[in-house]
Structures are given as structure tokens and as C-alpha cells.
Structure 1
Amino acid sequence: MSAYDELMAFQHQTEALAQVAGRLGWDQETVMPRGAAPQRAEEMAAMEAVLHARRTDPRVGEWLSAVDEGALDPAAAAQVRLIRKSYDRTMKVPADLASEIAKVTSRAQGQWAEARAAEDVAAFLPVLKEVVALKRQEGQALANGGDVYDAMIDDYEPDMKASELAAMFDEMRPRLVALRGAVLEKSGPRALAHVFPARKQMQLSRELARSFGYDMNHGRVDKAVHPFSSGSGLDVRITTRTNELDPFNCFYSTIHEVGHAAYEQNIDRAYLLTPVGQGVSMGVHESQSRIYENQIGRSRAFTGWLYEQMRDQFGDFGIADADAFYGTVNRVHQGYIRTEADEVQYNLHIMLRFDLERALMSGDLEVDDLEAAWNDRFAADFGYAVDKPSNGVLQDVHWSVGLFGYFPTYSLGNVYAGCLHEALRKAVPDLDEQLAAGDTSQATGWLRDNLQTHGGLRPPRDTIEHASGMAPSPAPLLDYLETKFRAIYGL
């Protein structure tokens, strides 16, 4: 066997074990008994120790040094590039620190859920302090004297810098704030005022998943506190949640997670259980979930079809026709929850989190001051006060599990989705006719062929440029938002 063949055989087993670790996380969020949390924390720590040992195995470095990179085809070269990046990163983090982070974040996740349910920030702060301290240590090890937050972002969006994101957000914020102000001055579409049984929501939710191409033979839909997608290749699972007064939370969470899952399911099977056989970055991943959810799922054409499906499932629910329903789906309204935010305001929620967690990691903000900082920033950005912790600092799971640097990839995904949507419309000129019949196959097929099947073959920005034919820019997203919402609100 060549050095490359030995490296890939070893990596194949590492990737398989990582999938097992991911399945433990899925189980914890969906069906694990609550009393199992302490044991699960030990199990997760043990798995992380095994994975860390494999990722820092001296043979990996020897194989990487021995590979003749000039003889590799593009896919093999990408495999080596990604393995080397992971190896270099993992070598910087001590094994005991990696294991302790896995153990503490597994415990913190359960304590966050309990604190959120009890509206008790104080109950969560002690374990959050542990998480933040450990992640600061990890970030310092990774940064090697550089910017700690940049090192954290690199875990989710390789080669992206906080300064680039800050500049992008500064470009986006004025147009978003101006559009929000103009929209909120108008009387908007009516909200839903009906009871939608959870069982029927889940039935329609699964139909929506199938309509967007989710392969139920290699996946499943369950319920969780915070919707997510888990796995890759032949086993990709999603979760959603229900609120009997707000079915859109369920339906659009499902469509969103299907975007993530479809990316993983549609990657070329030749890359199964390899570094290239998974999404290249969280920003690119989010581009898939956001274009599925918003540009496709909230379009006038698709919501016309969804309106009829909801009438079949729930009967008359008080919305007169498909045009009114389109307005209701896209209604801009005051709210606290990021995952329930409309397209106009969503990115403002991300900017808040980006600035707060950047300050946490630099030490400019301490955990004890986090709630007050959140509440002050929210009031300044949105014009009203946070009413309870579950609508404020406790609403997201991310910080409990140590995902610092993850939040900005949501807005980056929106920017990427704007570029992809512009290209999709040019490639499929009769898209609206298809969506009006509930047929997403050409839209999702275009995304599959131009982006999803390639997995991690190209770096993130190259992935978007290859698919859309343009360098990533927020302009297409902002233009789309202004055109859409000015029409809805008659501006």
C-alpha cells in the first residue's frame, strides 16, 4: 500500500468513529433518559479521547510527509489537504483538554435545558463559566499567539476572519435596519390565530421533508428542544419541534434541517467516511438550509402549494387565500427568538451574538455580565426589552456545547444563499411554475449537482463561486430581501 492508501484506510476508521460519537449526541437530544446525563458525559469524553488519539497518531504525520502530492488527483489532494488541516489543529490541543471539553459540554447541555425550562440563568452560569474557560484555553492553543476568536471561527468556516465578518456585517446592517424600520411602520399581514394539533404538524412535516428530497431510507425526523441535523452519508437524521399555536416553527424548522441533511445525503458516495465526504463548512451548510427554507420554502409559488396542504390537514384556519397566506408566512414582527425571526431581522440576531461571544472569548466580557450585556444590546438593537431568559440569553443551545465561532456562519450562509438563489433563478427560469405544484426537484437538483455532490472538494468560498458563478457578496441577499418585502408591504 502507498502512504496515501494507508492514510485513507486509517482515516476511514476515524471518520466512522466520529459518526458514532455524533450518534451519541443525537440520542442525547432525542430519546436518552434524562437520568443518563452523567454517564453520557463520561461516554462522550471517552469517545473524544479515542478520536483525539487517532487524530494525533504519529503515523498520520508520517503518512502525510510520505505522500507524493504531485501524483494525486483533485479529490485525493483535497483529502490530504483536509486531513493535514485537522492534524495540525488537533496537535495543538492537549488530549486531556479535548476530553474535558467533551465531558463538560455534555453535562452543560443538560443543565442549559433545565435552566431554560426554569427561566433560571443563575443555575446555568457555573457550568457556562467552565465551558468558556475551557474554550478560551483551546482557542489560545489553536491561535498560537494570534486572535483566539479567529481560531474558533476557523473550526466552522476555514480561512474566515472575525475582521472580515465584522466588515460584512457593517455593510449589511444599515440596509437591514432601514428595511425593518420601513416595514414595521406599515400594518402587516395578519398572524395565525388557530390551534394546530402537534400530531398533524408532524405528519405534514414529514411530507415536507420528502417534498424537498429528504431520503427517509437513510434518515428520520424526530422532535428535540432545538432542531438540528446529525450525521452524514447513509445515516442523516433531523429533528424539529412543535408549537400548537405556531405550525410554521415546525414546518420551516423541518425544511431548514432538510437543507442540511440533503447536503450530506447527496455527497458523492465515493467520498463516504472521508473528510471530503461531508459539508465543507458551516457557512456553506447554512447556505443550503437557508435557501431551502427561505428563497424556496417561503416563496410565493411554494407557499401557495403549502396553503392547500395545510387546508387539507387542518381545515379552515382563518387565512382567506394563498396571497394572504404568503403574507402571513413572511410576516415581519417583533420577537425575541432567533430561530423564529423573519428574514428581515434574522441577521440582526446573529450580529448581536457575534459581538457578545467575540467579547467573551477575548476576556472583554465575563460570564457573570453576559445576561445584562445581552439584554442591553437587544434593547438597543430591537427597541424593546427581553421579557424572560428563555427569550434572551438562554434561548440557544450553542454556548452550552462550546460552539463559539459558529453563530456568524448563519449569516454567512444567508449571504451565500443569496448568491446561489440568483444563479438558480437564471438556470431554472420556470422555477415558480414548478414550486406552485409543490415540485422542488429542479431547484434541489440544481443545488445537488452544482454544490452538494462535491462535499468538501473545494474550500468554502471556492465552493460558492463554483456553484453560483460569482464571488460571495451580501448584495444579492440584500437586493432579494428589499424586493420581496417592499412588495409584500407595499413600500
Structure 2
Amino acid sequence: MSAFENLMGFARDTAALGQVAGRLGWDQETMMPRGAADQRSEEMAAMEKMLHARRTDPKVGEWLAAIDPATLDEVGQAQVREISRAFDRASKVPADLAVEIAKVTSRAQGQWAQARADEDVAAFLPVLEQVVALKRREGEALAAGGNVYDAMVDDYEQNMTGAELAAMFDTMRPRLVALREAALAAEAPQKLSGHFDADKQMQLTEKLALAFGYDLNHGRIDKAVHPFSSGSGHDVRITTRTSDHDPFNCFYSTIHEVGHACYEQNVDDAYLLTPIGGGVSMGVHESQSRIYENQLGRSAAFSGWVYGQMRDVFGDFGIASAEEFYRTVNRVNDGYIRTEADEVQYNLHVMLRFDLERALMLGDLSVNDLEAAWNDRFKADFGYVVDKPSNGCLQDVHWSVGLFGYFPTYSLGNVYAGCLHQALRQAVPDLDAQLAAGDTAAATGWLKESLQRHGGLYAPRDVVRRASGMEPSAEPLLEYLEAKFKGIYGL
């Protein structure tokens, strides 16, 4: 066998083991008994020890050195590029540090969930301090004298820096704040009220998932505290959550996670269990979840179809027309929770987290000061006071599991989605007529062919550029938001 064949065989086994580790994480969020947390942290640590050893195995370096990329086709070159990148990064992180991070973050996840339920920040801070210290050590190893936070971001969005993100967000923030203030000063659409049976929500949730092309033969829908998508290829699972008084939380969280899941399910099968066999970055991943959820799912056309489905399931729920339902679905609301935020304010939630985690990683903010810093920033950005920790610094799971550098990709995904949506509208001129019938096939088919099927074949900004025909920019997103919400609010 050639060096390339040996390398790819080894990489496939490593990818398969990574999927098994991911399934342990899925189980921890959905099915695992609470008392198994300590044992699960040992299991996760053992898996990470084995995976780290494979990712840094000297044989990988030897095979890479023996391969001339010029002899490979485009796919082969991409595989080698990604394996080389992962090998270089993993080799910089000591094995004992990687294992300790896996162990501590697994334990921290359970402690975060309990602290969140108890509204007890103090109970979570000691383990969070451990996580931050460990991730900072990892960042220092990866940065090799460079910027620690940039090294964190590079895990989720290759070749992106904190400075680039900060500049983009600085451009976006004034227009978002102005739009938010104008909307909140105008007459508000009707609020949804009433009681919505959880079982009926899940019944409609499955219908929505299928409408967006989610393949339940290779997936499943479960409940979790924090909705997420897990897996790739032929086993891609999502979770959602229900609220008796807020079915939109369930429905649009589901559509969001289906966007992630369909991206993974639609990657070319030829890339299955290889380094390019999944979404290329979290920013591109978020572009799919956000365009499914917002530009498609919250459009006037598709929300009209959802209105009919809700009336079929729940009967008369107090909203008189599809037009008023569209305004209600897109209502700009005061609120604390990022995942429940409207399109206008969502990115402001992300920017808050970006600035705080960047300060944590660079040593400019201590863990003990995090809650006060969060509450002060929230009051400054949103104009009212955080009422309880679960609505403040304990609301997200990300920091407990060590996902520093992840948050800004949510807003980057919105930026990418704005570019893609503009191109999609040009490619499918009768899109609204199809969405009004609950038919997303043309839209999701275009996304599959233009972007999703490529997996990691192209770099993040390259795949967005290829699909949209433009250099990624925040302008299409801001223009879309301003046009949409000025129309809704009569501004």
C-alpha cells in the first residue's frame, strides 16, 4: 500500500473512534443517568487519550512526509491538507493536557447543569476556573508565542482571528442597535399566549424536520436542556426542548438543528469517515442552521404554512391570520436567552460572549469576576438587569465543555447565511411560492449542491464564496435584516 492509502486507512479508523466518542457526549446530554457523571468523565478521558495518541502518532508524520501532494487529485490534496493541519495542532498539545481537559470538561458539564438548575453561580465557578486554566494552557501550546484566543478560534474557523471578528462586529453593532431601538419603539406585534401540549409540539417538530429534508432513517430527535446536533454521515442526531407556553422555542430550535444535521447528512458519501467528511467549520455550519431557521423558516411564505400546521394541531390559538402570525414569529422581544432571541438582537448576545471569553482567554478577566462583567455588559447592551443566573452567565453550556472560540462563529454564520440567501433568491426566483406550500426542496437542494455536499473539500470562506459568488461580507445580512424588520414594524 502507498503512504497515502496507509494514511487514509488510519484516518478512517480515527474518525470512526471520534464518532464513538461523540456518541458518548450525545448520551450524556440525553439518556445518561445523573449518577453516571464521574464514570463518564473517566470514559471520555480514556477515549481522548486514545484519540490523541492516534492523532499524534509518528506514523502519521512519516506518511505525510512521504506523500507528494502534486500526485494527488483535488480530493486527495484536501484530505492531506486536513490531516496535516490536525496532526500539527494535536502534536503541539501534550497528551496529559488533552486527557485532563476531556476529564474536567465532562465533569464540568454536569456541574454546570446542576448549578443552572439551582441558580448557583458560586457552585460552578471552581470547576469553570479549572476549565479556563486548562484551555488557556492548550491555547498557549497551540499559539506557540502567538495570540492565545486566535488559536482557540482556529479550532472552529480556520484562518480567522479575534481582531478580524472584532472589526466585523464593530461594523455590525451600530446598525443592529439602531434597528433594535426603532423596532422596540414601534407598535409591537401580538404575542403568542396559551398552553401548548408538549407531545403535540414534538409531533409537529417531526413534521418540520421532515419538511426541511432531515433523514430520520439516519437520525433521531430527542430532548435536551440545550438543543444540539451530533454526529456525521449516516448517524446524525438532533435534540430540541419544549415549553408549554412557547412552542416557537421547540419549532425553531428544531429547524436550526436540522440545518446542522442536513449539512452533515448531505456531505458526499465518498468522504464518509474521512477528514473532509463533515462540515468544514462552525461558521459555515451555522450558516446552514441560521438560513434554515431564519431566512427560510421565519419567512412570510414558510411561516404562513407553519401557521396552518399549528392550527391543525392546536386549533384556534389566538392569532387571526397568517400575516399576523408572521409578525408574531419575528417579534422583537426583550429577553435574556440567546437561543430564543429574535434575528435583530441575536448577534448582540453573541458579541457579548465573544468579548467576555476573549478577555478570559487573554487573562484580562478572571473567572470570579465573570458574573459581574456579564451583568454589567448585558445592562449596557440591552438596557435592563439580568434577573437570575440561568438567564445570565449560566445559560449556555459552551464554556463548561471548553468551547472557547466557538461563540463568534454563530454571528459569522449569520454573515455567511446573508450572502448565501442573496444568491439563493437569485437562483430560485419562485422560492416564496414553494415555501408557502411547505416545500423547501428547491432551497435545500440548492444549498446541498452549492455548499453542503463539499464537506471539508474547500476552506470555509472559499466554499461560501463559491456558493454565493461574492466575498463574504456583513452587508447582505444587514440589508436583509433592515428590509425585513422595517417592513414588519412599518419603519
Fold match, TM over 0.5?
A: yes
* 3-state SS in 2 of match to 1:237: strand
**Cα shift readout 1:392-417 (whole Å, capped 9, x = no counterpart):** 00000000000000000000000000
Which structure 2 residues correspond to residues 40-439 of structure 1 after superposition, within 5 A? Answer: 40-439=40-439
C-alpha displacement of 1:29: 0.2
In 2, Cα distance between the equivalents of 1:337 and 1:69? 47
Q: What's the offset of the Cα at 1:68?
A: 1.6
Is 1:449 matched with 2:452?
no
Partners of 1:302 and 1:164 in 2: CA distance: 35
Equivalent position SS for 2:276: helix
Deviations along 1:393-446, one digit per CA (max 9) or x if unpaired, are 000000000000000000000000000000000000000000000000000000
Residues 41-93 of structure 1: CA distance to partner in whole angstroms, max 9, x if unpaired?
00000000000000000000000000121111001100000000000000000
* Amino acid of the structure 2 residue aligned with 1:30: T
Letter aligned with residue 394 of structure 1: L
Distance 1:183 1:33 in 2: 45
Q: Which consecutive residues of structure 2, in runs of 5 or more, have no partner in the other structure?
A: none
Output the CA distance in 2 between the equivalents of 1:329 and 1:76. Answer: 45
Shift of 1:273: 0.1
Paired with 1:191 and 1:403, the residues of 2 have a C-alpha distance of 34
Deviations 1:266-291 (A, max 9, x none): 00000000011000000000000000
Residue 21 (str. 1) matches residue 21 (str. 2): yes
Root-mean-square deviation (CA, aligned residues, Å) is: 0.3
TM-score (norm 1): 1.00
Report the counterpart of residue 488 of structure 2 in structure 1. 488
Structure 1 Cα separation of the partners of residues 333 and 215 of structure 2: 34
1:29-40 counterparts in 2 under 5 A? 29-40=29-40
Equivalent pairs, count: 491
Using the TM superposition, give the Cα deviation of residue 371 of structure 1 relative to its aligned residue in structure 2, in angstroms.
0.1
The Cα of 1:40 is off from its aligned counterpart by 0.2
Deviations 1:164-193 (A, max 9, x none): 000000110111011111111011101111
What is the alpha-carbon distance in structure 1 between the residues aligned to residue 207 and residue 194 of structure 2? Answer: 21
CA distance in 2, matches of 1:182, 1:384: 17
- What does the per-residue CA deviation read over 1:437-465, in whole Å, with 9 as the maximum and x for residues that have no partner? 00000000000000000000000000100
The residue type equivalent to 1:122 in the other structure is A
Task: Render the CA deviation track for 1:129-154: whole Å, top value 9, x for unaligned.
Answer: 00000000000000000000000000
The code of the aligned residue for 1:284 comes to: V
1:36 maps to a residue whose letter is: A
Give the Å deviation of 1:216. 0.3
Give 1:247 shift. Answer: 0.2
2: CA distance, partners of 1:464 / 1:102: 32
Q: Counterparts of 2:206 and 2:94 in 1: how far apart (Å)?
A: 43
Q: How much has 1:298 moved relative to structure 2?
A: 0.1
How far apart are residue 314 of structure 1 and its match? 0.3
Counterpart amino acid of residue 478 in structure 1? L
Letter of the structure 1 residue corresponding to residue 255 of structure 2:
I
TM-score, normalization: structure 2? Answer: 1.00
Separation in structure 1 between the aligned mates of residue 305 and residue 429 of structure 2, nearest angstrom: 19
What is the alpha-carbon distance in structure 2 between the residues aligned to residue 164 and residue 221 of structure 1? 36
Code of the residue aligned with 1:418 in structure 2: it is: G
> What is the alpha-carbon distance in structure 1 between the residues aligned to residue 211 and residue 412 of structure 2?
26
Offset of residue 372 of structure 1: 0.1
Deviation at 1:21, TM superposition (A): 0.1
Code of the aligned partner of 1:367:
V
- Deviation at 1:250? 0.2
Please give the secondary structure, in 2, of the residue aligned with 1:275: coil
Distance 2:381 2:253 in 1: 25
